[in-house]
Amino acid sequence: MRLALELAAKSMFTTTPNPRVGCVIVKDNRIIGLGHTQPVGHAHAEVQALNDAADKGFDVAGATVYVTLEPCSHHGRTPPCADALIRARVARVVAAIGDPNPLVAGQGMARLAAAGIDVTLGVLEEEAREMNIGFFRRMQHGRPWVRLKTAASLDGGTALHNGLSQWITGDEARADGHVWRARACAILTGIGTVMEDDPQLTVRAIDTPRQPQRVVIDSRLQISPHARVLDGGGTLIVAAQTDAEKEAALRALGNEVIVLANADGKVDLPALMEELGRRQINELHVEAGFKLNGSLIREGCVDELLVYLAPALLGDAQGMFNLPPLDSLEQKRQLGFHDIKRVGADLRILARFT
Ligand code: AOF
Ligand code: ZN
């Protein structure tokens, strides 16, 4: 199963909106087939592994199949993996975790068991869930897993009081940040960052076969048609009020505009998360300024902070999150450290809201 998880990681940047799954087929104490999920519409991990074994001339009848997600039982863009395993007459299927997709949800294992195959569920379950944390979140809650990335000095500063912000963290941290961008289904920022930094919001520091969907929160449709985040089109702009002329101009450039307003006339952030869930966004990567960061946290739209901390002090500087002052410690937002790693000269912290 550990090997199957390593195979699943090979599809980290490519399978969205499908989960990343790995599969290992073993017979007579030999590994005879390996597979991992192909891009959407193509083979699932199990079918890849069955084909791999067949290509190498092995007969999989009587073999044991280790797979990091319950085999599917439905006809989606591809036929059910459970049926392929039954046809191949494997003896045993060990799955790390059940598929939360309501179209599957236990039926894959049930179908295998009904065909007389020995089934085991729940091996390295936590690791398997982590591999597809966004897919699980979307299937179970209809929203993406939201990871908010920021970089700051050791004293939490992101920009000088005069607004000047340059690279605080080093090259390694920047490249590492692009790995997190690459695995996300979508990258979100705000109009403030677009106007100040003119970011492209693409993955450039590492090789990737797929660019995430770009999303800009722009309540009053202030975005310039020349903003680099619109390069090549395909960007989703989320406004709180309509402006037919501006919308038409943005659409003519191949972008999409939607209006999602709350009672305060701002973009309704929780509604946006639901909308992104409907659009099959599993992992949402946020790189925004301290105001939007604060609003997303206040509205309960953030699951995880990805913070790069540089060993430097900026003094009286802009913080990472615009949050209101508290009167008592009981009101503090509690997180737990999920992972801490040194990246180049900097620290990378993954912290989750509890
Ligand atoms: C598996 N093995 O490797 C993956 C699975 O439209 P389809 O046919 O590609 O089906 C997509 C669904 O299949 C997806 O939502 C999830 O439930 C399951 N993914 N299942 O047996 C795999 N990636
Ligand atoms: Zn399948």
Q: What is the DSSP string of 127-151?
A: HHHHHTHHHHHHHHHSS-EEEEEEE
Give the model's pLDDT for residue 189.
97
pLDDT of residue 191: 97
Residues 2-24 pLDDT 10s: 999 999 999 999 999 999 999 99
Residue 118: partners with Cβ closer than 8 Å, 6 or more residues away? 91, 92, 93
Q: What is the mean pLDDT of residues 148-158?
A: 94
Whether pLDDT at 292 is above 80:
yes
User: Per the structure block, which two tokens stand in for 319?
Assistant: 């913080």
Phi then psi for residue 52, to 5 deg, are -60, -45
For residue 203, the CA-to-ligand 2 centroid distance in Å is: 29
The model's confidence at residue 184, banded by pLDDT at 50, 70 and 90, is: very high
| Mean pLDDT of the 207-223 span | 95
Protein residues within 5 Å, CB atom, of ion ligand 2? 44, 72, 81
Q: Is the pLDDT of residue 160 over 90?
A: no
Burial class (CB in 10 A: 0-12, 13-18, 19+), 325: exposed
pLDDT score of 119 more than 90: yes
Catalytic status, residue 256: no
In angstroms, the first-to-last Cα distance of the chain is 29
Name the 3-class secondary structure at 278.
Answer: helix
- Ligand 1 site, residue 294, Cβ cutoff 6 A: no
What is the spatial distance between Cα 62 and Cα 39, in angstroms, rounded to a whole number?
A: 29
Residue 71 has which token pair?
Answer: 């085999």
Q: Whose CA is nearest to atom 9 of ligand 1?
A: 77
Whether residue 104 is predicted with pLDDT greater than 70 in this model: the reply is yes
**Measured from the CB, is residue 71 less than 6 Å from ligand 1?**
yes
Task: Give tens-digit pLDDT for 86-96.
Answer: 999 999 999 99
Question: Using a 6 Å cutoff on CB, does residue 81 contact ligand 1?
Answer: yes
The residue with tokens 């309960």 is 300
Q: Is 153 annotated as a binding residue?
A: no
Atom nearest to 72 CA in ligand 1 = 21
% of the chain residues with pLDDT over 90 = 90
- Give the residue from 267, 237, 265 showing the smallest Cα distance to 249: 237
Residue of 5, 7, 18, 85 to mutate, ligand 1, most atoms within 8 A of C-beta: 18
> What's the pLDDT band for 166 if we cut at 50, 70, 90?
low
Name the closest ligand to CA 35: 1
In this prediction, residue 205 carries a pLDDT of 85
**56 annotated to bind ligand:** no
Q: Ligand 1 in contact with 232 (CB < 6 A)?
A: no
Say whether 150 counts as a known binding-site residue: no
pLDDT at 154: 95
Indicate which residue's Cα is closest to atom 18 of ligand 1: 72
Give the per-residue pLDDT at 165.
61
Q: 165 a known binding residue?
A: yes
**Average pLDDT of the chain?**
95
Q: Is the pLDDT of residue 161 over 80?
A: no
Q: Is the pLDDT of residue 106 over 70?
A: yes
**Contact 131 CB / ligand 1 (< 6 Å):** no
Residue 76, CA distances (Å) to 65, 80, 82, 165 in order: 22, 8, 13, 47
What is residue 81's predicted lDDT score, i.e. its pLDDT?
Answer: 97
For residue 72, the CA-to-ligand 2 centroid distance in Å is 4
Query: Which residues are 261's β-sheet partners?
Result: 267
The answer on whether 73 is annotated among ligand-binding residues is: no
Ligand 1 pocket: which of 12, 40, 44, 78 to mutate (most atoms <8 Å of CB)? 44
Single out the residue of 20, 24, 23 nearest to residue 9, CA to CA. 20
pLDDT tens across 21-37, in order? 999 999 999 999 999 99
Nearest ligand to the CA atom of 68: 1
Q: Identify each DSSP E strand in 245-282 by its residue range.
A: 256-259
User: Mean per-residue pLDDT for 240-245?
Assistant: 93
* Residue that wins the pLDDT comparison between 167 and 253: 253
Nearest ligand 1 atom to alpha carbon 101: 17
* Cα(132) to centroid(ligand 1), Å: 12
- For 64-85, write each residue's pLDDT tens digit: 999 999 999 999 889 999 999 9
Asked if pLDDT for residue 164 goes beyond 70, the answer is no
- pLDDT more than 70, % of the chain: 98
